[in-house]
Structure formats: structure tokens, C-alpha cells
Amino acid sequence: MRSSAQSNMGAAPRLAADQATAAQPAAPAIEIDRVTKTFADRAGSGITVLDDISLAIAQNAFVSLVGRSGCGKTTLLNILAGLEAPTSGAVRIAGRPVKGPGQGQGVVFQQHALFPWLTALENVKFGCRKRPISRAEKEDVARDLLALVGLQDAAAKYPREMSGGMQQRVAIARALALDPDILLMDEPFGALDELTRIELQDELLRIWQVRRKTVVFVTHSISEALVLSDRIVLLAPHPGRIARDVTVDPPRPRVRSDPRFATLYDEIWRGLSQ
């Protein structure tokens, strides 16, 4: 029979190993490793849109990419979505290299891209077409998501019968129907009027708090980024590169009139103006 001292000696290394494992930080949801993207022009030379971008994004974080037109925000988002391949460097999601779309990324574009011949419910059901669930379960998922975005009474409406804000809500629900770990959003509220935009910002935050996802959000609006984000990455143009990485400190729920936003706004504006 082993003595208690011997038992403790055997347990101590295991306990230390367990504590060391618990102390390790969670792996990033997204790793962008020295990504460069060059497009060929008509003269046959290359135009570098993104230059040596490296970024790690934590699980369930809300990160906004902000910068002037031409800084490569949309190109970077397309690379994360697997819609574009980097010229050099790599992107990993949950430690796996991105080889194309369909690795747990849901995408919402500025233009809603709904199918005009499908109802709101059918558009959302299309989003979960590849999930290994029954037809009845897909129906239930689509109805639940329409309720989540506040459109349970618009299930039978076609896109032409809905406002721009309603169409974007359906687009968000459709992206969520895939049950993605990562939600990529390319200026989804850019074409909306200011009041609708504010309403959908609040709606997006509510959805994010109910169903935590890692969100990468492209916007030109500093104010929008401040309200939504945990972190704002500023991209400088020609070629696109990271100019600054800003942590947004005010706790949630946030008030748009919070005086701390003014200080952060000035910091971000100075970073974009350099």
C-alpha cells in the first residue's frame, strides 16, 4: 500500500499541471499573421492594398476596423471570410488556416443581399441550409432568429415589402442561422438613415449579448465604433497597415453622451489624421 506522503507526492505534480493549464489564456478566435495583399493593375505591376497586417482577436470580442476609404478594411474582411486569399501571410480561425468560406464565419454586407423572391422566413432558412438538422428544425431556427431581431410578424414579407432597416435585420438573422462562431460585418448600417442606424446598433449589441460571437465590424464612423466595440483597430492607407490599436474602456451598457467617448474620439481622430 502507498503511504499518504507518496500519494501526495504523486498528486502534487498533477495539481500543478492542472493549475498551469487553467492559467493559460484562451487561444485567439482569429489570428492574422503578417498578411499582405497585392492586386495586379492594368500595367502589370502590383498594387499593395494590405501590408504586413498582424492581429490577434480574442474569443467573443467585438472589434471594429476603422479607416479612410482605400485602407483595405473590406479586403481584410474578405480575407477573414475566405472570399479572398492573401498574397502572403496567413489567417487562422480557431487555430486552423482559412482556406475558403464556410469555416464558421457568418458575413453581413452593406447591401443586405437578400433573395428578392424569398420571404423573410425563407431567406433566414436559406442561411441554415447546410446545418445537419431536419427541415422542421430549420423552420424553428429561422422563426426563433426572426423573433430575436424583432421581426416575428414579418416572416411572410418579401424584401420589397420591408424597409432598409428591416432588410438588414433579416440579413443579420440569416448570417446567424449558420450558427457561426465569428460574425463579419462590412458597414452593415452605412446605407441607413441616422435614426435607423442607431436603432440597429442597439439591436446588434442586444443580439451580441444574448448570443455571444466574435464580431469583426468594418465602419467609417468613429462614433459607431465607440458605441459597439471592445477594441478599435485603425488602418492607415496606401498601403493598408495598422496605425493604432485602441481599447474602448467604458463599461456596458453604454451611453452615447458618456464624456469618456469624447476623449477616445479625439484619440482615434488624431490617429486617422496622421
Element of type H or E holding 222: helix 222-228
Report the candidate in 48, 30, 71, 83 with the shortest Cα–Cα distance to residue 218.
71
Query: Is the pLDDT score of 9 beyond 50?
Result: no
pTM of the model: 0.85
* pLDDT confidence of residue 89: 96
Query: Is the pLDDT score of 169 beyond 70?
Result: yes
- Residue 129: which pLDDT band, with cuts at 50, 70 and 90? confident
For residues 171 and 110, what is the distance between their CA atoms, to the nearest angstrom?
10
First to last CA, the chain: 73
* pLDDT confidence of residue 7: 45
The most distant pair of C-alpha atoms in the chain lies apart, rounded to whole Å, by 82
Mean of pLDDT values over 173-184: 91
Contact 160, 190 (CB under 8 A): no
Mean pLDDT of the chain: 87
Mean of pLDDT values over 93-116: 85
| Inter-helix orientation angle 194-210/164-177, to 10° | 20
Q: What pLDDT, in 10s, does the model give residues 67-80?
A: 998 899 999 999 99
For residues 103 and 213, what is the distance between their CA atoms, to the nearest angstrom?
14
Q: What pLDDT, in 10s, does the model give residues 23-75?
A: 566 789 999 999 999 998 777 778 999 999 999 999 999 999 999 988 999 99
For residues 262 and 232, what is the distance between their CA atoms, to the nearest angstrom?
15
For residues 125 and 81, what is the distance between their CA atoms, to the nearest angstrom?
21
Burial of 274 (0-12, 13-18, 19+ CB in 10 A): exposed
Helix, strand or coil, per DSSP, at residue 261: helix
- Residue 116: which pLDDT band, with cuts at 50, 70 and 90? very high
